[in-house]
Amino acid sequence: MGVPHDRWGEAVIAFVTLKPGTSATEDELIAHCRERLGGFETPKAVRILDRLPMTATGKVQKHELRAAHSETFAGSVV
């Protein structure tokens, strides 16, 4: 999902929920993406969440994620 970035206008951030009994770090997930995706597609940050905000019909509420994490790259130039 794109969130505001001072230099690029928008940067990719991934929101992840892990299966029970598994573990991963932000760096591991970014490295995994870097091996399989183009540079502009690779997330600049990963947030591991217990659960994603969902609507009653089971869709992810992207506006809630974007609002909660819109300051992630504030003041960032890299």
Instruction: Name the token pair of 69.
Output: 């994490």
Q: Which residues pair with 4 in a beta bridge?
A: 10
Indicate the pLDDT class of residue 40, thresholds 50, 70 and 90. confident
Average pLDDT, integer, range 61-73: 87
Asked if pLDDT for residue 52 goes beyond 80, the answer is yes
Q: How much is the average pLDDT of 2-19?
A: 86
3-class SS of residue 66: helix
What band does 77 get if pLDDT is binned at 50, 70 and 90?
A: low
User: Does residue 15 sit in helix, strand or coil?
Assistant: strand
Which has the closest alpha carbon to 13: 2, 5, 4, 24?
Answer: 2
Q: What domains lie within the chain, and their CATH numbers?
A: 2-68 (3.30.300.30)
Give the three-class secondary structure for 31. helix
Predicted model pTM: 0.79
Burial of 51 from C-beta contacts in 10 A (0-12 / 13-18 / 19+): exposed
In this prediction, residue 61 carries a pLDDT of: 94
